[in-house]
Amino acid sequence: MPIIAPSLLSADFLNLGKDIDMINNSEADWFHLDVMDGCFVPNISYGMPIVAQIKKRAKKFCDVHMMVVEPQRYLEDLKNAGADSLTVHYETGYHLQRTLSAIRALGMKAGLAINPHTPVEMVQDIIHDIDLLLVMSINPGFGGQQLLPMTYNKIRQAREMINKAGANTLIEIDGGVTLDNAAAILAAGADVLVAGNTVFSSSDPADTIKRLKQAGK
């Protein structure tokens, strides 16, 4: 069964507690939390204080996706805020293996995200340092975009690379995940589906989560 991670970026922030409770009571597995700085991506979301408030109410795994420059500056703060996994971007540049090791040393799962233009093979040498490979299926920064068709081939390439290396890395897909394409994404080799607009624009978000969960059958 796939791991379903609703993205709170699409939640109603005037009623955030209600949306958190909905996820707690649904078949979702994780909370997906997007931290954006307005520099790495052209948008600003929320930071450590909001993550900490979400963690107080969330009863499930908190999967934090850092779309920021110099993510290494914030690892300990996000751990203290309640992150269970922390994903940084390959494109942020320097000393990625050191950053991934630091995330694990703090007791979190270490994730690495790649943007649509970044080839999967760029992470081959550090695949054993990654608990989670997040393949961006849109250009990051805003929800509600359509999944890029190249994504399916990248998932297949990532699955082949992980299997060949004998690694246990999960493949997470973020962006444009819908009820119409979830089964194909999972068939290509993905393990984790991030869904924001699909869940929170639904008339019955909990049922939509259930249907996404069943897409892997």
Residues annotated catalytic, as ranges? 34, 174
Which of 65, 52, 67, 70 shows the shortest CA–CA distance to 16? 52
Q: What are phi and psi of 167, to 5 degrees?
A: -90, 165
Cα–Cα distance for residue pair 60/24, rounded to 1 Å: 7
Cα–Cα distance for residue pair 215/92, rounded to 1 Å: 33
DSSP 3-state of 109? strand
- For 135-187, the DSSP string reads EESS-TT-SSPPPPTTHHHHHHHHHHHHHHHT---EEEEESS--TTTHHHHHH
CA–CA distances in Å: residue 4 to residues 24, 62, 140, 173: 12, 12, 19, 10
